[in-house]
């Protein structure tokens, strides 16, 4: 093998790793969409008057986003064939820890809401909360994705029960400033998510060019 072959091999290895990221840690346009959904959910939940239509929209938002995310990953970002990213042990442990926290919260909330009257509000709230556990295990795998996805599910659950996270500057926020500040973290994370998504998408466009030229250039083995 010549030095040229070794560098070409190295290039293919880098290309494989970069491409594989779009199966797990890089969302691209799905991250942009997730960030926009998060901001929309935060503002709509806190500013619009509660109505059945709004509740349905807020519940549909995380589900639609997850669906769009899967379609984008399979049909757009991994159009040259599925390549599953190799997660490091630290990434796997962090992800398992986050899902564990969600599971614990779901159990605690379920126990804590025993006193609530039985009805559609409580059932929907708990169903959405428990749906977050498998959703975070299968689809919310990067930290920002997890953060934004968790908010979307929580906002959906809370709005189904007739509440909403307070938006800073409103009377609801003045009544509960710590919660308003905590909730503010999510749209801020969403902005970061949008930024990383755009950067990932730009990287993908360059990667796509390279992949498309590989076969045409006939520089295969």
Smallest separation (angstroms) from another protein to the CB of 15: 7
Q: Is 169 left (phi over 0), alpha (psi -120 to 50) or beta?
A: left
Instruction: Between 70 and 176, name the residue whose CB sits nearer to another protein.
Output: 70
**Binder among 7, 9, 101, 185 for another protein (CB under 8 A):** 9
Smallest separation (angstroms) from another protein to the CB of 69: 19
Return all residues near 110 (Cβ < 8 A) that are at least 6 apart. Answer: 126, 129, 130
CA angle 102–94–100, rounded 5-degree value: 25
Alpha carbon 42 to chain centroid distance? Answer: 15
CA distance 26 to 77: 10
DSSP 8-state assignment for residue 50: P
Instruction: Between 76 and 163, name the residue whose CB sits nearer to another protein.
Output: 76
Q: What is the DSSP string of 94-138?
A: HHHHHHHHHHHHHHHHHHHTTTSPPSHHHHHHHHHHHHHHHHHHH
Length of the chain: 221
**Binder among 13, 67, 175, 182 for another protein (CB under 8 A):** 13
Q: Which sign, positive or negative, has the C-alpha torsion 17, 23, 27, 29?
A: positive
Q: Is there a contact between 41 and 160 (Cβ–Cβ < 8 Å)?
A: no
Q: Which stretch binds another protein (CB under 8 A): 7-15, 47-55, 117-125, 159-167?
A: 7-15
Instruction: Between 202 and 215, name the residue whose CB sits nearer to another protein.
Output: 215
Does position 138 interact with another protein (CB under 8 A)? The reply is no
Smallest separation (angstroms) from another protein to the CB of 113: 39
Return all residues near 10 (Cβ < 8 A) that are at least 6 apart. Answer: none
Instruction: Between 74 and 202, name the residue whose CB sits nearer to another protein.
Output: 74
Site for another protein in 51-110 (CB under 8 A): 80-87
The binding track of 177-216 with respect to another protein, each residue x by CB under 8 A or -, is ----------------------------------x--xx-
Does position 17 interact with another protein (CB under 8 A)? The reply is yes
Smallest separation (angstroms) from another protein to the CB of 21: 10
Residues found near another protein in the complex (CB under 8 A): 1, 5, 9, 12-13, 15-17, 19-20, 80-87, 211, 214-215, 218-221
């Amino acid at each position: 093998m010549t030095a040229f072959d070794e560098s070409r091999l190295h290039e293919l290895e880098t290309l494989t790793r970069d491409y594989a990221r779009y199966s797990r840690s890089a969302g691209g346009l799905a991250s942009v969409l997730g960030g926009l959904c998060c901001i929309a959910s935060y503002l709509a939940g806190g500013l619009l008057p509660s109505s059945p239509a709004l509740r349905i929209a807020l519940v549909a938002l995380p589900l639609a986003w997850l669906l769009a995310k899967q379609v984008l990953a399979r049909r757009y970002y991994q159009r040259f064939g599925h390549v599953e990213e190799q997660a490091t042990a630290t990434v796997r442990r962090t992800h398992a820890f986050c899902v564990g926290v969600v599971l614990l919260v779901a159990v605690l909330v379920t126990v804590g809401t025993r006193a609530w009257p039985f009805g559609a509000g409580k059932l929907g709230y708990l169903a959405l909360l428990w749906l977050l556990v498998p959703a975070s295990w299968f689809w919310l795998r990067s930290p920002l994705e997890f953060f934004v996805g968790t908010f979307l599910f929580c906002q959906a659950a809370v709005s189904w029960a007739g509440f909403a996270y307070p938006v800073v500057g409103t009377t609801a926020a003045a009544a509960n400033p710590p919660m308003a500040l905590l909730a503010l973290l999510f749209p801020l994370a969403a902005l970061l998510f949008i930024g990383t998504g755009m950067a990932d998408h730009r990287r993908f466009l360059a990667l796509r060019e390279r992949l498309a030229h590989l076969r045409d250039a006939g520089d295969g083995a």
